[in-house]
Structure 1
């Protein structure tokens, strides 16, 4: 009886020891010692993972004993660490990142004295830098090529007029950003800042149909001293990220009057909206 009881106790102790090895727990902090909620804790060599709580703690029961875990958080360097009881994992700021994006949307020129004008299709191509400022905070300058402008249209019983204004800008937005991280490598980034832009090309196309006759004219906006080459304004946006891929919405609002000759005290301003897709390096 004593031998049976001893064997049972030893077996129970061995089972408890195995169970203890299959539990990984600890806390994830940043370099200042602040807890990091939403960090991903992944067992190396396995698909098992968990996400840290609001206080940065985690607890993961694994099917097999875990030897190492990898902690990851967007904007911070990932870290692999050997499993110990109540482990403490410290993540540091990541290096500068890069991104590329392409977007399509609409642009318009607005003003109190403008009539019969409407939005035109617009596009952008961009490359940007992501500079970490601390947990969740980023500085995001970029260089973009953007098409903006507007179109006018007027119709009558025996005539019609159309005029397209195309402005091709080299634009530099400088934005601050706040990034929220969620489970499964997803994040949401809110951006806001200012931009400066220089128009590489400005073209106007005019078409008039009257009494069955059509007249067309193309002209350079800058040779005619109609529009200023320089522009500046507010840039804002929101991006949804999954791993290295992003989709987003960007808005631009000019605060500089685009008219070169302003003797009549008229004011017009650029505005544009772009839906974009991108990739982070």
Structure 2
């Protein structure tokens, strides 16, 4: 967005995943694990902040107007407009060598988390833009016995 600078959105979700996993032996000391399944999540908090170039005298040195609003809630109530409820699919893979585990995971949200953007941004560029949550993780672990 041309008129928002340094935007930062934080979202905190409480998530319940349900996964099916398979552990495959690849050798004496090697194993691979695959997992997949759905998740459901509820947004419990978050803040959205940034700055907007302000074309009137603001008294600030850089001419920008700073903002900090709640991430979840209605745009008409001066919030960012994100829905609290989210759901999607999780897919993960991990490799084990003896007690060392290295894994990767991706989560793709199926819920359009903010359909209120059209009320704020009514431009051709964002007309069909409806954001969804996406997350990826890389892990390194050690199994204690």
In the other structure, the counterpart of 1:243 is 98
For residues 36 and 16 of structure 2, the distance between their equivalents in structure 1, rounded to whole angstroms, comes to 13
Cα RMSD, aligned residues only = 2.7
In the other structure, the counterpart of 2:32 is 188
For residues 171 and 213 of structure 1, the distance between their equivalents in structure 2, rounded to whole angstroms, comes to 40
17, 21, 24: which one aligns with 1:177: 21
For residues 207 and 266 of structure 1, the distance between their equivalents in structure 2, rounded to whole angstroms, comes to 21
Which stretches of structure 1, 4 residues or more, deviate above 6 A after TM superposition?
262-266
1:274 aligns with 2:124: no
1:168 aligns with 2:12: yes
More strand by share: 1
For residues 52 and 46 of structure 2, the distance between their equivalents in structure 1, rounded to whole angstroms, comes to 20
Structure 1 residues 262, 203: CA separation in 2 closer, same or farther (over 3 Å shift)? closer
The structural deviation recorded for 1:225 is 6.7
The TM-score, its normalising length taken from structure 2, stands at 0.71
The answer (yes or no) to whether the contact 2:83–2:113 under 8 Å persists in 1 is: yes
55, 58, 67: which one aligns with 1:217: 67
In the other structure, the counterpart of 1:228 is 83
The structural deviation recorded for 1:235 is 0.3
Aligned residues, how many? 125
The structural deviation recorded for 1:262 is 8.1
The answer (yes or no) to whether the contact 1:227–1:259 under 8 Å persists in 2 is: yes
Aligned-partner SS, 1:180: strand
Aligned-partner SS, 1:269: coil
The TM-score, its normalising length taken from structure 1, stands at 0.39
107, 111, 115: which one aligns with 1:252: 107
In the other structure, the counterpart of 1:202 is 46
For residues 256 and 202 of structure 1, the distance between their equivalents in structure 2, rounded to whole angstroms, comes to 18
The structural deviation recorded for 1:243 is 2.4
The answer (yes or no) to whether the contact 1:225–1:260 under 8 Å persists in 2 is: no
For residues 101 and 82 of structure 2, the distance between their equivalents in structure 1, rounded to whole angstroms, comes to 34
Larger Rg: 1
Aligned-partner SS, 2:23: strand
Structure 1 residues 267, 260: CA separation in 2 closer, same or farther (over 3 Å shift)? closer
Structure 1 portions without partners, runs of 5+: 1-115, 117-153
The structural deviation recorded for 1:206 is 1.6
